[in-house]
Every structure is written in C-alpha cells, then in structure tokens.
Amino acid sequence: MFENKVIYQIYPKSFNDTTGNGYGDINGIIEKLDYIQDLGVDYIWLSPCCMSPQKDNGYDISDYVTIDPLFGTNEDYQRLITQAKARGMKIMMDLVLNHTSSEHEWFKKALQKDPKYYDYYIWQDAPNAIESFFGGSAWTYSKEVGKYYLHLFDSSQPDLNWANPAVRKDIYDMINYWIDKGVEGFRLDVIYLIGKEPDKLITGHGPKFIEYLKELNENTFQDKLLTVGECWGTSLEEQYKMCHDKGLSEAFHFNHFLLNTADGKDKWHTKELDLKELCDCFDTWQNEYTGVEALVTGSHDAPRMISRWLNDTQYRMQSSKLLITLFGLMAGDLYIYQGEEIGMTNAHWHDINKYNDVETLNAYELLKEQGFDEKTIMEKIAFTSRDNARVPMQWNDTSNAGFTTGNPWLDVVDNYTHVNALRDLTNELGVYKYYQKVIKFRKEHYDWIKQKAKFSEDNGVLKMEKPKFTLVANFTDQKQAHDLGSTGDVLFNNYSKVEKQLMPYQVVVVCNK
C-alpha cells in the first residue's frame, strides 16, 4: 500500500522565506510546490512547525496544535495541505512524541506539582547513569519539585511518561486533530524511546515499546496513513516487530549512516567508509528484510552524504547522480532531503560561531574537555554537524542564495553562486533533471527494482546485480576497471559515455541481456 513512494523532506526554517525575517515559512513552501511536484514527489515531510522556543530547532514543542508564528498560522498550514493535494501530493507531519519543551503547559503545571501533570513526566530523587544524547547526564534538578527530571536530549526537552495512560490519550487526541485537518502521513521522531524504563537503565526499545506502538496505531493511524519511525541502528528483528501487525508502515534504521562512525566511538569520531561493509548493509536490508525499507541518503540530522562518502567539489554533480541512482534503484520508499536534488554540500565551516545546533555546541565543549585541540575539533564538527544539512536552501546566485531578503538565521554555504536551483534547472545535464529521470524510471519499472539484488565490492567499485539490470558505481577518484557482463542498453550513466574503465565517481546501469 505504501511501497514505491517518493517523500521529499523540508526543513521549514531553511527552505524559503517570504517575509524577510530570515526564517523559512509555510507560504514559502506553498510558493515552491510546483518545483517539488515536478520532481515526482508523492509526500512532503515537514520538520516541526508547531509552537516552540526553538532550543532544538522545533523538536522542542510547547504547543502541539498551534503553528508557530515564526512559520505562519494554522490557516497557512491548512492551505498548504490543500494546495499540495491539488498537485497530487500529501503532507507528512513530524511528530515529537518522546518529549516536549520545558515551556509546554504540561511541564509548567508539573513544576507546580499539579496532581495530574506531575505524572506526565519522569522524576527521580537522584540521577542514575543514563546520559543525554547531547552529552552529560540525562537528569536535571528542579528546585520547584525537589527532584530530578529525565531528558534524553537537552535539559529543555523533558521526556514524557508514556507509562501514564493520560499522556497517551492526550497524544492520540492531538494526532487525530491533525488527521482531521488533512495530514496523511507522519514521521515519528525518536519513537523507539517511548517504551523506556529509566529505573532499569533501559532507554531504547523497552519492553512495552511495541505495545505502545500498536495502541498508538489503533487509536490514530489505523494502518491507513503512511508512518515512518526514526530508529537509529535497529536490527532486522527490531524493525520487523515495529512494522508488522499494526505498528508502523516503515522505519529508518540508518545503519548505513553509522558506517562512518569509528568502532566503539560516538558520532564525532569517524572513519572512512568501508565499501564492503556498505554492501553487506545493503544486502541485509534489501534481501533479508521482509517489510518496506525507508531508503534515505540524508536528513536534517546528518551531514550531506556526498560530503561524507564521495566528492563534493570537483566531482560534485557526478557524486550526486551516483547516490540517487544507487538508492533510487533499490526497493522500498525513497526519501529525498531538500537540496540533494541540486547537489548541495556540507558547509565545511571551521568557525564554531557559525553553528547553531545545540548538539554541535555541546559537542564542541565536550571535545575541548577531552583534550582535543581547536583544529581537530573543528575538523570533526565540519564533517559531522547536523547544521551541514540545515543551512538555507540555495535557490539562485543572488544575495543569501535567494532564500531571504533579510539576514538568514544560519549562513548560506559559500558555493551557492554555482550550486543553486536556478542554475541546475537550466542545465539539461543538471542534477535535478537526473533525479526526475531516476524517479520516473522507478515508478514505471518498480517490478524490476523490487527483485532481489546481489551486492559486491571490488577495489572501490560497488556492484548491484538484479535480474533485469546491473549497476556499477566507482566510489573513488581514480579510473577503475569494471565488469558489466553481457551488456544491453544503458539505462543510466552520469558521464557522457561508457568506456572500458569507470571514470571517477561514475555510475552506470545497463539492461541485462
């Protein structure tokens, strides 16, 4: 039912500003709907637009049913739903159900020891060993309450107590409010954390997680809407449990993202991509998983993949085309993050003052405490920070990349003068038009794509063999030999011709005779 869909993720704060205040807005998204539609998109996923103090860029919600004036009004959001639907696209809302903002009315009442809302959150007399994903203890002391509250992220994001039925009911009522407004898909932020048992030091995939997930579905989505959960590093077994028998439609596992992380280290300590490990990852999820895979090459929570895996300067366009060819010809639902379709890159900033992300700023201080020098710290941040993907969309080569007439909340990337949508759209060999071609092929030949695949690696060349076609992709900056076997028609090629050797970052797909 929800297979072979194309979902385009928008980070509203950075997409298109129509007011000149330096922040993207809902009317700016409406303004660009034709651009998104022409790509071949089925759903538009928006990161949170609800009321928020923006301590974590909207993932700290203070009112679940009111659009933040920063982005517009509830009426603007309703118009977006209507205008998208008129173009054959559906709106996917980002739900943050693990925690709220500390400025949410529920938490304010909890601090007042309100008998109802106190139990909406998780309290302990003393902190235990659970640490925040943003660094440091996951417990903060409240003078008002005289106890510590749990926050797996920033201290301004207290975790909700899903063991409380009243919490769950209020959440279901909120979700049904948006369903009634016409929202037809939901992305569930860090959903794997809702079944936590802090007393037992259990955070992810707790004993009651699947029970809560099924109850959530039964009271809201009822298997009628596309739902995708954010669940980093899940196993096949965990994914199957989440997405089978009235759970989620699908979930991000991000196992391929984690291949850049040094063994036993956190995300700030990285290693080169091992292509053999990547092939093994693809083989597992494409051939062993029985559900629908959420295929993703980027998001607001990760740096640009062409910058972490390939070449984002001399071979930027080839690298962008390689990625969409590889992921676009795999089975599942395809997720595209804003800017990928024009080949946007990491910002590569080496000045901490350029960054806004709370996780990045916390990591900067922690890395200093660990004894790393400034140059090393900034190299790590420039490669890994989430702000690399959160920079403003590059629409043209005018001031601020055409994103805003004011001062952007986050600087634009310096390469916007030659990496922008206007320039790409006027180039028949541009990245955008190549994306269109892949998506069109995907929709017309999904019966070819959904067949089992064999993945292999040889000297930096990845090979994907399916019954109907074979793909070879050179992940290096050197010419490489390739073996396409008995070749038929060339379906895709990010260079002008196919030779006896693959050019740097060349991808070729041929029909099998």
Active site amino acids = 189, 230
Q: Rounded distance, CA 144 to CA 123, Å?
A: 12
Q: Say which DSSP state 121 is in.
A: B
Backbone Cα Rg of the chain = 23
8 Å CB contact between 25 and 72: yes
Residue from 511, 436, 464, 456 nearest 330 by CA: 464
Q: What is the 3-state secondary structure (H, E, C) of 29-58?
A: HHHCHHHHHHHCCCEEEECCCEECCCCCCC
Q: Is 222 left (phi over 0), alpha (psi -120 to 50) or beta?
A: left
Identify whether the C-beta of residue 124 lies closer than 8 Å to the C-beta of residue 150: yes
Name the β-bridge partners of 9.
45, 337
Q: Which residues of 427-439 are buried (b: 16+ CB within 10 A; e: fewer)?
A: eeebbbbbbebbb
**3-class secondary structure, 180:** helix
**Sheet hosting strand 461-465, strand order edge to edge:** 454-458, 461-465, 469-474, 507-512, 487-493
Helix (H, G, I), strand (E, B) or coil at 326: helix
Q: Are the C-beta atoms of 475 and 506 separated by less than 8 Å?
A: no
Alpha carbon distance 493, 510 (integer Å): 9
CA–CA separation, 173 vs 115, rounded Å?
21
